[in-house]
Structure 1
Amino acid sequence: MTTFAGTPPPARNRAAGDLRTIRVLWQREMIRFARRRVRIAMGLVSPLMFLLVLGTGLGSAIGDGDDAGRYRAYLFPGMLLMAAQAPALAVGASILWDRQSGFLRQMLVAPVRRPALIAGICLGGASTGAAHGALVLVLAGTAHVPYDARLLLALVEVGLLSFAFTALGVLLAVCVRRPDTYQVVAGLFLMPLLFLSGALFPVGRLPAWLNAAVLVNPLTYGIDALRRTLSGPLDLGGVARGPRWNGWAPPVALELGIVALLAAAALAVATSRFSRTG
């Protein structure tokens, strides 16, 4: 078929080009992940220290050995989230370094659509975050979480959370111009979200003013979905009570939908601003 100059390519060709772009950018992030062995090791050591030291210490402070074990099981989903967020947010920082090196400008002038670029970057970040989460899931036995099919479901949920973190990181990266500023802003933005998500302490008995902040935090629902998936028949001593709206607990599917909505919104805004980052 003859294509005249100025005629847009067929939709099938555009779709194939988008998929190729997504695959290349995803492979780029996975190659980066495989080469950073020290970061992979630290991504495994840090959650292990939190589980064994913080989990055991705080668990012992609230009761006997059984309570300490239950608290480690309660803390485990939060450690999964912490392990997944660091590599996912690092993707946003890499965009800023790509801008300084000139590689980002080359991507922007390439004959590919902006949504494909963003999708490839975010899928790469989600994959690296899920890979770190998979390493932490190997430690499930230290938190008295059984090795069964629920771990696979949890890994899918970690992938969704990693995608949300990557989308937020990319959104920050297209709004911030300097890598050092990005690190500060990301820390200030995500630390309150982490603390007010129930990752480290139960949210069921918080005062009303603090409980309101917990209920509007999207990460609260991601953590609660992970915890309900992993706990199963485990007896957590009643501490695993998640977010409640007038006594009503949202189902896991709705909680994951809230996380997906957050990711989609961040992705849409980041895509609309991405062309200005060159």
Structure 2
Amino acid sequence: MTTGVTTPGVVRVHVPRRSVGHDLRAVKIVLHREMLRFVNDRSRMISTLIQPVLWLFVMGTGLSTLVSQGPSMGVDFRTFMYPGVIAMTVITTAMFSAGSIVWDREFGFLREMLVAPVSRSSIVIGKCLGGGIVATVQGVIILAMAGLVHVPYSPGLILTLLGEMFLASFTITAFGVSLAARMKNMQSFFGIMQMAIMPMIFLSGAMFPLANLPGWLAFLTKINPLTYAVDPMRHAVFTHLDVTPQAMQALNPGVHWFDWHVPVGVELIIIAAMGAALLGVAIAQFRRDG
């Protein structure tokens, strides 16, 4: 028995298969979005610069009056602090970039990215690359202030610092993304960020020399991952300064494991390996969400 009512046809939806080309395009889009977000948010650029500028020119100038007759040996203490302030700038900016994952989750944009026909790893890689580039660009502003603290504008030094800044910021962004992947609101993320990042910055030797530290403090600096990001920057700066061997030994002693002086190349490999490991953790977190 027929009723004369026809069954509407089923609309066929075609979803393109995942491919390397699609994943690379996803990386590019996520990276581009991070750059647009950074360029359009001027208040963020200004706010993330205030703290390092205060540390460099206010705290640095104040401490210079205390250490001028001490272990600085004629070196402006702001010159010593300069690599640490660069590291602080890129690390803070990288964590803020990673925190936008939580913001995207709260407003539903993250869900739209996760259902796209691309691999989760491409989203995470694009996010980490974008955070690394944004943090490096922010650090360039501090890099431009080198002459104000008696650091020469050497092309070799600038290129070295740019590479080290990007490596550190990529690693920190991967760390932040792995944290943000499990966070449900911004308050929780920034609470964890402050608890994790600030002690690591202060224990990295960014604000004080690593020479002649008490045993317990020297141990904490050696197990702190950020130490191996700050020390190569300080080494790059001090190799372009005209200082006495005594000042070099006091202010730029490097990192020692027992009696072995850890080469800068090994420190950079440590940071790169940590970045790759944290990137893998972040990707695993995103895949688990799916």
Q: Is TM more than 0.5 here?
A: yes
After TM superposition, list the pairs within 5 Å mapping 1:24-173 onto structure 2.
Answer: 24-64=29-69, 69-149=75-155, 150-173=157-180
**Is 1:15 aligned to residue 20 of structure 2?**
yes
User: For residues 102 and 45 of structure 1, do their structure 2 counterparts lie closer, same or farther at Cα, with a shift above 3 Å needed?
Assistant: closer
Say if 1:202 and 1:239, in contact at 8 Å, map to a contact too.
yes
Q: Which residue of 1 aligns with 2:269?
A: 257
Which residue of 247, 255, 270 corresponds with 2:282?
270
Structure 1 residues 89 and 277, CA gap change in structure 2 (3 angstroms) = farther
Contact 1:56 1:69 (C-alpha < 8 Å) held by counterparts:
no
Q: CA deviation at 1:64?
A: 4.8
CA, structure 1 residues 174+99, in 2 after alignment: closer, same or farther (shift >3 Å)? same
Instruction: Using structure 1 for the length normalisation, give the TM-score.
Output: 0.91
Among the aligned pairs, what percent are the same residue?
A: 39
| Cα distance in 1 for residues equivalent to 2:195 and 2:50 | 24
Residues 167-182 of structure 1 aligned to structure 2 (within 5 Å): 167-182=174-189
Q: TM-score, normalised by structure 2?
A: 0.87
How far is the alpha carbon of 1:67 from its aligned partner?
A: 5.1
Q: CA deviation at 1:62?
A: 1.2
Q: State the Cα distance separating 1:86 from its structure 2 match.
A: 2.1
Alpha carbons 2:67, 2:77 under 8 Å: kept: no
CA contact (8 A) 1:58 1:68 kept: no
Looking at structure 1, the residues matched to 111 and 36 of structure 2 have their Cα atoms a distance apart, in angstroms, of 21
Alignment RMSD: 2.2
The separation in 1 between residues aligned to 2:37 and 2:194, in whole angstroms, is 22
CA distance in 1, matches of 2:133, 2:166: 7
Could you tell me how far 1:43 is from its partner in structure 2?
A: 3.4
Is the deviation greater in 38-47 or in 179-188?
38-47
User: In 1, Cα distance between the equivalents of 2:113 and 2:73?
Assistant: 53
Contact 1:59–1:69 (CA under 8 A) maintained in structure 2: no
User: What SS is found at the alignment partner of 1:126?
Assistant: helix
Q: Deviations over 1:31-50 (max 9, x none)?
A: 01111112223334432222
C-alpha separation in 2, matches of 1:130 and 1:37: 16
Structure number having the greater helix percentage = 1
Dislocated runs of 4+, deviation >6 Å: none
| Aligned counterparts of 1:246 and 1:100: Cα–Cα separation in 2 | 47
1:218 aligned counterpart, secondary structure: coil
Whole-Å Cα distance in 2 between the matches of residues 116 and 78 of structure 1? Answer: 32
Gaps of 5+ in 1: none
Partner of 1:192: 199
Structure 2 Cα separation of the partners of residues 122 and 148 of structure 1: 29
Equivalent-residue separation in structure 1 for 2:88 and 2:270 (angstroms): 19
**C-alpha separation between the residues in 2 aligned to 1:91 and 1:233?**
32
Report which of the two structures shows the higher radius of gyration computed on alpha carbons: 2
2:227 is aligned with 1:215: no
* Shift, 1:54, TM fit: 1.0
> In 1, are the aligned partners of 2:152 and 2:240 still within 8 Å (CA)?
no
Per-residue deviation, 1:176: 2.2
Letter in 1 for 2:41: R
Q: Which amino acid aligns with 2:174?
A: A
Mapped contact 2:254–2:262 kept (Cα < 8 A): no
